[in-house]
Amino acid sequence: MSWYPLPLPPQTGRRYLVTGANAGLGFFTAARLAGAGAHVVLSGRSPERLDAAAAAIRGARSAASVETLVMDQSSLDSVAAGAERLLADAPLDGIVANAGMVHTPMTRRESVDGNELVLATNMLGHFALFERMLPHLADAARVVSLGSLSTRLSTFRVDDLQLERGYDAWRAYAQSKIASQAVAFELDRRLRAAGSPVVSVVAHPGYSISGRTPTVPGVNEPSRGTRFADALQAAWAQGKHRGAEVVLHALTAPGVQGGQFWGPRLLVRGDPTLQAPTRVSADPTIGARVWAFAEQATGRPFTVAG
């Protein structure tokens, strides 16, 4: 018997932000939350793709409560503007920090703020978002950051996070995800120290790919070639709709605690299980260094209060 889909606790009355919700893991996370009764804010860079995602969710469940927010995680000004809109509404019960750049440029590029583009998109934008939104989170809210198997497959240059001494596309992605996990675990340590009821959790989706994912018009439309190629990986891959179940578990399941690391049972696929993160990403000394770097790169101190 398949474990999918996992039952979700009723979410009526809860509000969530899912970044990068116009496609992939973010879309399926948002759709499942809305289907369980939550109000979900879908953020992303493209208003057209966000509208398509919202329409797909409402098409599957006419009563779904969703709204869209154009917010580019690579731009600190865009994150600030998005946060201002969120702060004008009711507190959030959770944030899913999903937005990210997977297909990284072959040469080093910088964001509009002068930060290495992949790091800016995958980590710094979310760091800036957390700093602004933390006081606006409800009691017992959860912040779920997307981890990655790539964190197990790369070294980490904590003294060269901007990759100024050497760049390649793989390192840019892997290093940005290690930094994201390090910030998420450091955030939870600081929340605990401050006596805050908010928790920070990391969830990785295993090896979740488009060609194993259901077609959703305007959201996920892989070509026949992609379907065929991805079908050859069926023994060790799953669809993004299944990878999203790990994220949903970390966000909503009873008993989830701050600082935990959740992933698929078989590492690359399967139902959610509690796992051990890489030593580097969970190291408090490294976490503190990445946090200090992020404060400098975003230009704002991030003090966690209870």
DSSP letter string, 56-90? HHHHH-TT-EEEEEE--TT-HHHHHHHHHHHHTSP
Q: Is residue 304 part of a domain?
A: no
User: Cα(142)–Cα(146) distance, rounded to whole angstroms?
Assistant: 13
In sequence order, the 6+-apart residues with CB closer than 8 A to the CB of 54 are: 42, 66, 67, 68
Q: Is residue 64 part of a domain?
A: yes
Residue type, 148: S
Active-site hit among 4, 16, 167, 173: 173
Closest CA to 161 of 172, 152, 145, 150: 172
User: Cα(41)–Cα(208) distance, rounded to whole angstroms?
Assistant: 23
For residue range 41-50, what is the model confidence (pLDDT) as tens digits?
Answer: 999 999 999 9
Q: With a threshold of 0.75, does the pTM exceed it?
A: yes
Residue type, 242: R
Q: Is residue 9 part of a domain?
A: no
Closest CA to 163 of 107, 242, 206: 107
Rounded (10°) CA dihedral 295, 163, 123, 260? -100
Low-confidence ranges of the chain (pLDDT < 50): 1
Residue type, 132: R
Q: Domain span at residue 196?
A: 15-298
pLDDT value for 138: 97
Q: Is residue 4 part of a domain?
A: no
pLDDT value for 220: 86
Domain tally, the chain: 1
Distance of CA 86 to the CA centre of its chain: 17
Q: Is residue 261 part of a domain?
A: yes
Q: Is residue 283 part of a domain?
A: yes
Q: How many CB atoms lie within 10 A of CB 47?
A: 12
Token pair, residue 39, equals: 């109000």
- CB-count exposure of residue 206 (10 Å: 0-12, 13-18, 19+): buried
Reduced to 3 states (helix: H, G, I; strand: E, B; else coil), residue 143 is: strand
For the chain, the distance separating the N- and C-terminal CA atoms, rounded to the nearest angstrom, is 44
Q: Is residue 10 part of a domain?
A: no
Contact 135, 113 (CB under 8 A): no
Q: Is 173 a catalytic residue?
A: yes
CATH (domain of 72): 3.40.50.720
Residue spans of alpha helices (H) in the chain: 24-35, 47-60, 76-87, 117-119, 125-133, 169-194, 224-231, 240-252, 279-282, 284-298
User: Cα(264)–Cα(205) distance, rounded to whole angstroms?
Assistant: 7
Residue 111 CB-half CA count within 13 A = 24
Residue type, 174: A
Distance of CA 260 to the CA centre of its chain: 15
Q: How many CB atoms lie within 10 A of CB 112?
A: 13
Q: How many CB atoms lie within 10 A of CB 280?
A: 17
Q: Is residue 6 part of a domain?
A: no
Token pair, residue 259, equals: 């600082």
